[in-house]
C-alpha cells in the first residue's frame, strides 16, 4: 500500500501567531513533505520494501557506513520525520506536563539545561538535519543531532522531540537566524503533551 501525505493536525495558519507562518506550512508540508511521499513511493515500487512499514524501511535501508544514504532511505525517513514534526507542535497553550519536567530534570539537571543542549545541537548541526530529544534503550533521555534525514530509529532510540533544521523549515520566517528559530520552537511551538506521551 502506498504511503500518503498526512493532513496537518491543525490549520495551515494555526501556528502563525507563534512564529511559523501559513506560507512556511504550505511550502513545508504541501510541497516538501509531499515530495518525500511521492518520490518514496516511486522508489520502493517493485522492490522488497513495497508493502513494508515505514519504520521497517528506515531501519532496513539505513547504512551506518555510508557517507550519503540511499534514495529509499532518504525519502522514507524524511516522511517519518515530518509526520512526527507536525504532531510535536501545537496551537494550544503548550504547558509542560509534570512527568516530562521531572524526566528532563532527572536526565539534564534542569529544564533550562535541556533547552540549552537542544538549541546548541540544532544550531551546531552543519548543513541540513535534525536535533532530537530521545529516550535511549536504558530509559535515559539525551539530546542528539543527525544529518539530513537520519533519525533516532536508526540507533534504536525513541524520538520524543525533533526539530527540523533544514533551511526550508525556517527561512521564510527567520531567514538565516537558526538559533532564533530554535528558541521560538521551544518557547512557542512545541506540544509538550505530545512529547510527554512518547515517554512510554
DSSP 115-167: HHHHHHHHHHS-SSEEEEEEE-TTS-EEEEEEETT--GGGGT-EEEEEEE-SG
Residue 8: CB atoms within 10 A of its CB come to: 17
Q: Flag whether 164 is marked binding.
A: yes
82 is annotated as contributing to ligand binding? yes
- Phi/psi class of residue 172: alpha, beta or left (left: φ > 0; alpha: ψ in -120 to 50)? alpha
33 annotated to bind ligand: no
Q: pLDDT of 174-197, one tens digit each?
A: 999 999 999 999 999 999 999 999
pLDDT tens digits, one per residue of 4-54: 999 999 999 999 999 999 999 999 999 999 999 999 999 999 999 999 999
Helix, strand, or coil (residue 190): strand
Question: How confident is the model at residue 161, as a pLDDT?
Answer: 99
Residue of 35, 11, 12 whose CA lies nearest to 172: 12
Q: Which domains does the chain have, with CATH numbers?
A: 21-88 (1.10.287.990), 98-198 (3.55.40.20)
Q: Are 153 and 188 in contact (CB under 8 A)?
A: no
Q: Please state, in angstroms and rounded to a whole number, the distance separating the CA atoms of residues 82 and 32.
A: 9
Give CA–CA dist 88/161, Å, rounded.
6
**When comparing pLDDT for 200 and 80, which is higher?**
80
pLDDT score, position 62: 98
Task: Give the dihedral of Cα atoms 83, 85, 131, 105; nearest 10 deg.
Answer: -120
Model pLDDT, residue 128: 98
Query: Is 29 annotated among the ligand-binding residues?
Result: no
- Angle between helices 54-61 and 71-87 in degrees, nearest 10: 130
Amino acid at each position: 500500500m502506498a504511503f500518503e501525505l498526512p493532513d496537518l493536525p491543525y490549520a495551515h495558519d494555526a501556528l502563525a501567531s507563534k512564529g511559523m507562518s501559513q506560507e512556511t506550512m504550505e511550502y513545508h508540508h504541501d510541497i516538501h513533505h509531499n515530495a518525500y511521499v511521492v518520490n518514496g513511493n516511486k522508489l520502493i515500487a517493485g522492490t522488497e520494501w513495497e508493502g513494508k512499514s515505514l519504520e521497517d524501511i528506515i531501519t532496513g535501508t539505513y547504512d551506518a557506513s555510508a557517507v550519503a544514504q540511499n534514495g529509499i532511505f532518504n525519502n522514507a525517513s524524511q516522511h517519518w520525520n515530518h509526520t512526527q514534526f507536525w504532531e510535536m507542535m501545537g496551537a494550544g497553550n503548550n504547558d509542560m506536563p509534570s512527568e516530562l519536567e521531572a524526566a528532563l530534570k532527572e536526565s539534564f539537571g534542569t529544564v533550562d539545561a535541556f533547552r540549552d543542549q537542544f538549541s546548541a545541537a540544532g544550531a551546531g548541526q552543519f548543513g541540513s538535519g535534525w536535533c532530537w530529544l530521545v529516550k535511549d534503550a536504558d530509559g535515559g533521555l539525551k539530546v542528539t543531532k543527525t544529518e539530513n534525514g537520519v533519525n533516532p530509529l536508526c540507533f534504536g532510540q525513541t524520538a520524543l522531540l525533533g526539530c527540523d533544521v533544514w533551511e526550508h523549515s525556517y527561512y521564510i520566517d527567520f531567514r538565516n537566524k537558526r538559533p532564533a528559530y530554535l528558541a521560538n520552537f521551544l518557547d512557542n511551538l512545541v506540544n509538550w503533551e505530545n512529547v510527554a506521551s512518547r515517554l512510554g
